[in-house]
Amino acid sequence: MFSAEIIANYLQGEVEGDSSVAVSDVARIEQGKPGTLCFYANPKYEKYVYTTKASVILLNRDYVLKEKIAPTIIRVDNAYESVASVLGLFESTKSANKKGREYPSKVSWRSKRGKNCYIGAFAYIARGAKLGNNVKIYPHVYIGDNVTIGDNTVIYSGAKIYHGCVVGSGCIIHSGAVIGADGFGFAPQANGEYRKIPQIGNVIIEDNVEIGACTTVDRSTMGSTIIHAGVKLDNLIQIAHNVEIGRNTVVAAQTGIAGSVKIGENCIFAGQAGVVGHIKIGNRVTVASKTGIQNNVDDGKSMLGFPSMEASKYKRSFIVFRNLPALKNSVDELEKKINKLEEKF
């Protein structure tokens, strides 16, 4: 449990009310109950500021209360951003005490582990693997030969990291993710069969990357598939061989990135987007849901549709093609009038 005073100090905020009140969980403002902390950021939920049963509430410094409320208040610059820090604080307490090795598990004597690591039951750590300090390997994880994992990284149950891959510090890899499986490389033969092209590269994941459940990042044919620092990948994403994703880019679920694509920094990909292979996407590009990218995209563009076009052009085009049935009826009527005139004259 954390007192309001501790949380306020952690967030560099100020307490209004009882600073000793303690909370053990975080709740949505409309579902707050005693012993929980909630936050207010969306005007749609303002009424719950005055009715929530939570013990502590995060409010922006500039928010003016219309009436007195029961919860202890912590004033912060940005309540929405601050709650992410609070969630991290609570999450850290759940896994911080996990240390040591559970059995049965297999850890090669040729592997190396830093201080305060946790190895869950049925995990497999192959020879040559190197784990940094405070690494958490949950049950049923597979760590292949010569894999390197940096400090404070968490690998959740059932994730697989193939041989030779590198994972940085402060990363989170969720259950069912597969890092370093073979890229989809096959050469067509004269007899119609496909010959497998050996995939001899690896995957490099830099620091503070999060990879969602059942997401796959394929190893490169040669060289490395690279996920740069700060990238966040949602669940159920396919990243193909030799892809490179720039720093602080976020990708939502069911997106597919084909081979050898180069993506810049601070990009946003909404759900079910698709990118064809061997193209380059610049920095700060936004790709809308279900958009299909088939050509290079310059810095700062917002893309929409399939095949994709700039969002502003797509919206103007949409106004036209959503009215096509009415336009067709108008054309049909004009043709009838023209035909009658031709018959008459």
Q: What is the pLDDT of residues 281-302, one digit of tens each?
A: 999 999 999 999 999 999 999 9
> What's the rounded Cα separation, in Å, for the pair 143 and 316?
51
Kindly indicate the confidence band of residue 24, based on its pLDDT and cuts at 50, 70 and 90.
Answer: very high
Kindly indicate the confidence band of residue 242, based on its pLDDT and cuts at 50, 70 and 90.
Answer: very high
Does CATH number 3.30.70.20 belong to domain 100-313?
no
Residue 153: name the closest of 145, 141, 164, 163 by CA.
Answer: 141
> What's the rounded Cα separation, in Å, for the pair 326 and 304?
24
Counting Cα atoms < 13 Å in the Cβ hemisphere of 154 gives: 16
User: What sign results for the dihedral spanned by CA atoms 33, 38, 40, 41?
Assistant: negative
* Residue the block writes with tokens 């994730």: 159
| DSSP secondary structure letters along 277-303 | SS-EE-TT-EE-TT-EE-S-B-TT-EE
- Run of H or E residues at 237: none
pLDDT at 328: 85
Residue 131: name the closest of 216, 115, 123, 141 by CA.
Answer: 115
pLDDT at 96: 58
Q: What is the pLDDT of residues 72-127, one digit of tens each?
A: 999 999 999 999 899 888 877 765 578 899 999 999 999 999 999 999 999 999 99
> What's the rounded Cα separation, in Å, for the pair 296 and 226?
19
Is 241 assigned a catalytic role?
yes
> What's the rounded Cα separation, in Å, for the pair 306 and 321?
14
pLDDT at 343: 84
Residue 96: name the closest of 117, 124, 113 by CA.
Answer: 117
Q: What is the pLDDT of residues 33-77, one digit of tens each?
A: 999 999 999 999 999 999 999 999 999 999 999 999 999 999 999
Give ∠ CA 11-14-18 in degrees, rounded to 5. Answer: 110
pLDDT at 307: 80
Kindly indicate the confidence band of residue 246, based on its pLDDT and cuts at 50, 70 and 90.
Answer: very high
pLDDT at 317: 76
Amino acid occupying residue 320: V
Mean pLDDT of the chain: 94
Structure tokens at 300: 């700062």
- Parse the chain into domains and list their residue ranges: 2-95, 100-313, 314-344
Q: At the topology level of CATH, where does 2-95 sit?
A: 3.40.1390
- Run of H or E residues at 99: none
pLDDT at 60: 96
> Which position among 140, 163, 241, 278 bears the catalytic label?
241
Q: What is the pLDDT of residues 303-330, one digit of tens each?
A: 998 888 787 787 777 777 787 888 888 8
Q: What is the pLDDT of residues 185-227, one digit of tens each?
A: 999 999 999 999 999 999 999 999 999 999 999 999 999 999 9
- Distance from chain centroid for Cα 68: 39
Q: Which residues are CB-contacts of 92 (< 8 A; sequence separation ≥ 6)?
A: none
